[in-house]
Structure 1
Amino acid sequence: MSDEMNVDLKRPSEVDGAAGQANGHDDSGTTAPAAKRVKVDNNNDNAENAPKEIDARDDRDRGMAKIKPEFLLASAASKAQVDDDAAEASGAIDHADGKVDARDGGGKKKKKKQGGQNHNRSYGQFDDELRLCNSRTYSNEFSPKPCRYGDRCNMCHDLRKYFSEGRRGDLTTLGGKCPMFAQYQRCPAGWKCRFIKSHSEEVEREDGRKELVLLGAPDADDEEPDRKPGVVNVVHADVKYNLSRRKADLSKSERYTKWVEKETDLMRKIYNRKKPDCDESEDTELHELRAQFVEPPFKASEKRKIYFGRETPTLAPLTTQGNLPFRRLCVELGAQVTYSEMALGMPVVQGGKGEWALMKAHESEISSPRYSPSPDDIVQGYDNSKDIKFGAQITGNQPWVVMKATEALTNHLPHLRVVDLNCGCPIDLVFQQGAGSGLLDAPPKLEKMIRGMNAVSGEVPITAKLRMGVRDGKPNATKLIERLAFGSPDFRERLGAPGCAAVTLHGRSRQQRYTKSANWTYIAECAALIKSYNQQRDELTDTIREADASTQANTTGGKMYFLGNGDCYSHIDYFDHVDNAKVDTVMIARGAMIKPWIFEEIEKGQYLDKSATERLAYVEKFVRYGLEAWGSDELGLGFTRRFLLEWLSFTCRYIPLGILEHLPAKINDRPPAYRGRNDLETLLSSNDYRDWIKISEMFLGPAHPSFNFQPKHKSSSYDTIEAEG
């Protein structure tokens, strides 16, 4: 661990620092042109009246952040470049057991390791030395529950031995108080809690014996004592068991699959009979075949209405980092729409605990998003009071997989805004199976998926997230969007539109991954195309006909919402994309991970120069929310520390506005070596993982001896996946 920075480990409220603000948005709502940068005066943090000058940096300075001279270190070497694509390089994926996953093309021969692979890293074991039996976890010392295994149980049944030999001592961080008990007067961790002294006591009984008594224990008849307060969409174990045994009711998907098979057979017969020189009898038979077509069992127009607008900045679905505590923090800071981490369709259908755990949401995510449309833009029939912020994202490589996954989710999750289909994830493991961005080159399959998901999702709308295309220089998003808006020309007249309620486009190709800047020019072209679809359906081209209104998405006039995604790092970027690219709203990914208060900047319309104290307070909030979500026992502390370190690997990339010479800041700009305005700010900017561990110890104490966290690339400050789609 680095000893170069001597930071007093005080609580955030005790650390010196002041927040400044720099206004980059005028009263008229317009934003400064992207080609200009605001010169920041050293003695004035408010840049509203600061002079503007053309960014005259030469090519050597491109991609480099301009730091005020007084903050530069003697070393002219720049900070290590962060490779946003490092975690998704091609090649077989090595797992913790040393084996190669055959699904990623490694079944025949183990490939040579390549730098930048997304390894399934081992973080070590972070559990108690002695495992306390569940029959003792929630019971007082003298009144334990009977152990179902009796003498065969190999876990610890002696509370005092467990405290003296089986666990590490209580934590003194966070005031020594359990966040769960302080908030809810109940701790699901029971005696395993690392803050147990804050909700237990030793009571002397009449016979002189002293008993350890647990405060805030779950009810004795509670079937799920580990259920976390404030968490929704918690699916009972019986549901997952029935899914794993193929006993769950997924009859809608099965009926729709049979209908699709029958329609496919009829289409094949019609195609084979369709000859230019057919006689009258054959023509009659052809009409009889066409008469056998049956209406598809869905009406997208009957689904619940949703709304995306200027006032609804959206947090992207993020693999690894889009966890419940992080989403909760972003909602608190102003995020209006959130998504689960991307779940694989097949494990969902099979009742996989890991995938279903991704669907848990905090109660703050089921509140209504902000809604303040202008009088000229009122959404007819939209009831904001019934809308919520949280949606689920899934992916799969076959229509029946995503259909069954969608039906399972909508049957058992009571709080879902939408189900989003990921059609852009560039990860090799996903792409090579034909899922994620593998769907970009399979438009018929993609259309079948959206139609099928709409057929089984009940009132929950279906949306999709795309990339520009698979290969650089060959974008096909316009054709895909047309297909999602109206359906294939071969089926449009009979089946209507697929009913896709919204499309999100990430302005990069699959081949590009996260290199170069997002192509907002292409996003704007797609937005204009969708606007023409929504306004002039009957006059698009000679070959396009308007789809049946009853099959359109249940939005204003059948409108399909359009979201842009890529490189949004400030309110300037956000409003520029909404006003100039004409997207309905912007989905934010890495910008939110680096500075989650970007949503607050969008709401206030100005830059917020957060002090180191405020930034550390967000870290403390994440820790508290993590302990609530994953538990305050040794295992929960390990998970909280792991995901905190992953997040700190992004937050260290934030360059404080007060030390920049020019605004606006850009997400891809990298600074030369610099020091912060105080020691804490310098610590928070470090890209040394040992300093991230040092920050985690401020709130979680020393890590478990077997805990392991070390980036596999010394030149990269993080190793995680961002499934931007």
Structure 2
Amino acid sequence: MDAPPPGTAHVKPEFLLPISTAAVLHDDDAAEGATGLLRGTGVRGEREEDALDRDGGAAPARTKRTKAQKRAQSGANKGWRFGKVVDGVDLCFHVAAGEGCNLGEQCRNNHDVRAYLAAKPLDIAFPRTEDVQHLPLPGAMDVDIDLYAARPPVCPVFEETGECRFGFQCRFMGAHTRPAPPAPSPADVPFSTDDSAADKDRPEPGLHLELVKDADKLARTMLTNAEANRVSPHTLKLLRTKKPGQEDDVAMPAAATSATEPEGLPPASPAAAETISESTAVTTDADALIDQRTAGAAPPDAVDGRVRFREKNRLDWAGKTYLAPLTTVGNLPFRRLCVSYGADITCGEMGLATSFLSGSKEEWSLVRRHPSERTFGVQLAGSKVASVVAAAEALAGELGDGVDFVDLNCGCPIDLVFKTGSGSALLDNPNRLGKLVRGMSRALGAVPVTVKLRAGVKDGRNTAHKLMPRLGPEFGAGGLTLHGRSRQQRYTKLADWAYIKECVDAVRAREADEDLPRVPIFGGGDAFSAAGYWDCVAASAVDGVMVARGALIKPWIFTEIKEHREWDISARERLEGVRRYAEYGLTHFGTDTAGVNSARRYLCEALSFQYRYVPIGILETLPARINDRAPASRGRDELGGRDWVRISEMFLGPAPAAWSFTPKHRSNAYESQGQEDRGERGQSLRW
């Protein structure tokens, strides 16, 4: 048999299939470089090659591509448009939850529960792993419904909290409803001049169901399972109208009340903070104001209430595992899954400073935190000093103790971020980077600022070894993370861990020379096994390794790292992880029709990475390498977008007729309309 091409996983000969099948290529560069629609911009992403050529210079002029050329480069999902799926008949949310609507006749939503239930799709059965592990791929809803007849219905939200906030809109409604008692006759109703309270809890006339709650579970779980860092619609409205700080219930403190900086830097006045908070773009005046705030000339009304660098909360991260902030796929359900496998530190998806300041509901949803996340951070991206500092003030005011650190993104390589001067573009602008970190540090009070950066912008021109020793003592960063690749390099080569060690040594040398507090330093790049992880820690002297793609492909990597072993995880154990992800997705996004399909979308995104895992039991050599792709082999099926949707149907019911999914990486997209019969593949789940 011919030798496999480079980048092919070494599978034991007895597992190789003799039939040659074309390998599906998964270009991480293309998937990361073509980002689709950046939230709130309406601008499509570009490929990296359109900005830089292979030698690092400007790319030559390009002619307009033909349709065939565009199709050839369509490996990444550039659209990422997922239409919101809703019920055919709407229902007022308050009425659905069993409450009275305060707006009454002024409410424009439907209040007829009976009409809603008559048009509502059938309930979904949320099975146990053992119920579906032997099912064929078409999904649970294609098999005999008697499979669930002997089991009571289960609503993940009700099971976790004792109450389902979606009430009659829940697709698992049978788990928290019961037959309503018969309506009392008029003779049995005592006379009252004000029976509005009784009417509020009384079932709708003619409705034969009522919602139930588990009072004991509500009392036990209200504090332990409720997501933190929820921002009220009123606060978002005030942010959109540029009126932060003018209402008592909107906590956007001026920098004077949460001033934080390295020693010797002046505090900022409330007037200065208000000027910054109301600005979403840097002007000459704003730059001058930040220069004044960070250069030693304090305004006359400054208040000396700042927290100095040595007084900031210290980050004790040595020996802990860190899940990297991952755009789109690093949502709360995925982070919660990784925590269940042993992740100690988690960070929310990258949020844009200007979007936080504009009161974007989507952006503020990124800061949600589950109680199981023991150490949680928020990541900011931006290049305008005024807007980034103002966003840090808003985060400090709204989240308070709900965040343990705020990370400044100085490593994002995609064009839409880089061309605005954000992300990895800051590596070539140390003065602006210093102003950003200093301003954020002041605004966040005792909450430390961390910085995530790459080795440099262009290959052969690394700059991190010059920047990192300055980030702590001069700028006030409380933690550092270095990805051992340049911006230009992306994922085409392995991370340079020797260079990471050079940067760590430079930071530690300055700390020793100036008797400075020790800041944690994490490396990043290619962590895919316990052996590889600990080898990198030992060789580079980092405090740990931030795990990104490795966690997407095998979320259980954190268990491997903590137990210093390679886990030959079974298909059943992997399926249990999928079930848990679906459950966490429902409790986060909701159990109504829209929430179920949001959970489905992100579950399919997760499966589009997890299917790349090659079972270590069929590998000839260990440990596995992250860039190796499996050849056609027994013990592993090549799944595509359509199969991932089918797997989601095992737990989330049938996908809507108009719903489609296209993963980030090149794959056969699934569309329910016009596809061949779902029963064409009947093999057992072996992935």
TM-score range for the pair, normalised by the shorter chain length: 0.7 to 0.9
Between the aligned partners of 1:86 and 1:234, the Cα distance in structure 2 is: 34
Residue ranges of structure 2 left out of the alignment (5+ in a row): 51-61, 128-150, 186-204, 246-252, 256-267, 277-284, 671-687
Between the aligned partners of 1:717 and 1:478, the Cα distance in structure 2 is: 43
Map of 2:211 onto structure 1: 215
Contact 1:188 1:218 in 2 (8 A): no
Question: Partner amino acid for 1:305?
Answer: R
Q: Structure 1 residue aligned with 2:165, among 175, 188, 195?
A: 188
- Identify if the C-alpha distance between structure 1 residues 438 and 87 changes in structure 2 by more than 3 Å, giving closer, same or farther: same
Q: Structure 1 residue aligned with 2:100, among 117, 122, 145?
A: 145
Map of 2:530 onto structure 1: 571
Map of 2:643 onto structure 1: 691
Between the aligned partners of 1:456 and 1:145, the Cα distance in structure 2 is: 42
Map of 1:255 onto structure 2: 272
Question: Partner amino acid for 1:664?
Answer: P
Q: Structure 2 residue aligned with 1:535, among 509, 512, 537?
A: 512
Per the TM alignment, residue 263 of structure 1 is displaced from its structure 2 partner at its CA by 8.2
Q: Secondary structure at the match of 1:235?
A: coil
Asked whether 1:328 is paired with 2:328, we answer: no
Map of 1:649 onto structure 2: 608
Map of 1:171 onto structure 2: 124
- Identify if the C-alpha distance between structure 1 residues 626 and 448 changes in structure 2 by more than 3 Å, giving closer, same or farther: same
The aligned length equals 570
Asked whether 1:507 is paired with 2:484, we answer: yes
Per the TM alignment, residue 348 of structure 1 is displaced from its structure 2 partner at its CA by 0.8
Map of 2:281 onto structure 1: none
User: Percent of counterpart pairs with the same letter?
Assistant: 40
- Identify if the C-alpha distance between structure 1 residues 339 and 313 changes in structure 2 by more than 3 Å, giving closer, same or farther: same
Per the TM alignment, residue 447 of structure 1 is displaced from its structure 2 partner at its CA by 0.6
Contact 1:204 1:210 in 2 (8 A): no
Q: Deviations over 1:433-465 (max 9, x none)?
A: 111112111110001100111111111001100
Between the aligned partners of 2:206 and 2:323, the Cα distance in structure 1 is: 52
Higher RCO structure, 1 or 2 (CA under 8 Å, sep 6+):
1
Q: Deviations over 1:560-585 (max 9, x none)?
A: 22110111001111111111111111
- Identify if the C-alpha distance between structure 1 residues 717 and 509 changes in structure 2 by more than 3 Å, giving closer, same or farther: farther
Asked whether 1:238 is paired with 2:215, we answer: no
Per the TM alignment, residue 235 of structure 1 is displaced from its structure 2 partner at its CA by 1.6
Q: Deviations over 1:463-482 (max 9, x none)?
A: 10001111112111111113
Question: Partner amino acid for 2:272?
Answer: R
Map of 2:378 onto structure 1: 392
TM-score, structure 1 normalization:
0.72
Question: Partner amino acid for 2:24?
Answer: A
Map of 1:301 onto structure 2: 310
Contact 1:200 1:212 in 2 (8 A): no
Map of 1:467 onto structure 2: 454
Q: Structure 1 residue aligned with 2:425, among 424, 438, 441?
A: 438
- Identify if the C-alpha distance between structure 1 residues 99 and 618 changes in structure 2 by more than 3 Å, giving closer, same or farther: closer
Contact 2:327 2:350 in 1 (8 A): yes
Contact 1:304 1:459 in 2 (8 A): yes
Between the aligned partners of 1:110 and 1:637, the Cα distance in structure 2 is: 44
Contact 1:95 1:121 in 2 (8 A): no
Per the TM alignment, residue 152 of structure 1 is displaced from its structure 2 partner at its CA by 7.2
Q: Structure 1 residue aligned with 2:653, among 701, 706, 711?
A: 701
Between the aligned partners of 1:149 and 1:520, the Cα distance in structure 2 is: 64
- Identify if the C-alpha distance between structure 1 residues 193 and 94 changes in structure 2 by more than 3 Å, giving closer, same or farther: closer
Question: Partner amino acid for 2:13?
Answer: P
Map of 1:66 onto structure 2: 10
Map of 1:121 onto structure 2: 80
Between the aligned partners of 2:25 and 2:155, the Cα distance in structure 1 is: 39
Q: Structure 1 residue aligned with 2:434, among 447, 460, 464?
A: 447
Map of 2:358 onto structure 1: 350
Map of 1:158 onto structure 2: 112
Map of 2:178 onto structure 1: 201
- Identify if the C-alpha distance between structure 1 residues 159 and 669 changes in structure 2 by more than 3 Å, giving closer, same or farther: same
Contact 1:471 1:512 in 2 (8 A): yes
Give the root-mean-square deviation of aligned CA atoms. Answer: 3.7
- Identify if the C-alpha distance between structure 1 residues 340 and 665 changes in structure 2 by more than 3 Å, giving closer, same or farther: same
Q: Deviations over 1:147-191 (max 9, x none)?
A: 6262773x43222221122x2100123253101112221001111
Between the aligned partners of 2:173 and 2:226, the Cα distance in structure 1 is: 21
Contact 1:96 1:122 in 2 (8 A): no
Between the aligned partners of 1:417 and 1:474, the Cα distance in structure 2 is: 33
Between the aligned partners of 2:669 and 2:629, the Cα distance in structure 1 is: 12
Bigger Cα displacement from structure 2, 448-457 vs 686-695: 686-695
Map of 2:194 onto structure 1: none
Contact 2:483 2:523 in 1 (8 A): yes
Map of 2:192 onto structure 1: none
Q: Secondary structure at the match of 1:231?
A: coil
- Identify if the C-alpha distance between structure 1 residues 263 and 567 changes in structure 2 by more than 3 Å, giving closer, same or farther: closer
- Identify if the C-alpha distance between structure 1 residues 634 and 228 changes in structure 2 by more than 3 Å, giving closer, same or farther: farther
Question: Partner amino acid for 2:232?
Answer: H
Contact 2:166 2:590 in 1 (8 A): yes
- Identify if the C-alpha distance between structure 1 residues 352 and 702 changes in structure 2 by more than 3 Å, giving closer, same or farther: same
Question: Partner amino acid for 1:300?
Answer: F
Q: Secondary structure at the match of 1:465?
A: strand
Q: Structure 2 residue aligned with 1:621, among 574, 580, 583?
A: 580
- Identify if the C-alpha distance between structure 1 residues 329 and 458 changes in structure 2 by more than 3 Å, giving closer, same or farther: same
- Identify if the C-alpha distance between structure 1 residues 717 and 657 changes in structure 2 by more than 3 Å, giving closer, same or farther: farther
Map of 1:403 onto structure 2: 389
Question: Partner amino acid for 2:423?
Answer: G
Per the TM alignment, residue 218 of structure 1 is displaced from its structure 2 partner at its CA by 11
Per the TM alignment, residue 111 of structure 1 is displaced from its structure 2 partner at its CA by 7.3
- Identify if the C-alpha distance between structure 1 residues 347 and 662 changes in structure 2 by more than 3 Å, giving closer, same or farther: same
- Identify if the C-alpha distance between structure 1 residues 262 and 634 changes in structure 2 by more than 3 Å, giving closer, same or farther: closer
Bigger Cα displacement from structure 2, 130-139 vs 505-514: 130-139
Contact 1:138 1:214 in 2 (8 A): no
Contact 2:322 2:547 in 1 (8 A): yes
Per the TM alignment, residue 264 of structure 1 is displaced from its structure 2 partner at its CA by 4.6
Per the TM alignment, residue 116 of structure 1 is displaced from its structure 2 partner at its CA by 4.7
Between the aligned partners of 1:195 and 1:263, the Cα distance in structure 2 is: 53
Question: Partner amino acid for 1:531?
Answer: R
Contact 1:233 1:361 in 2 (8 A): yes
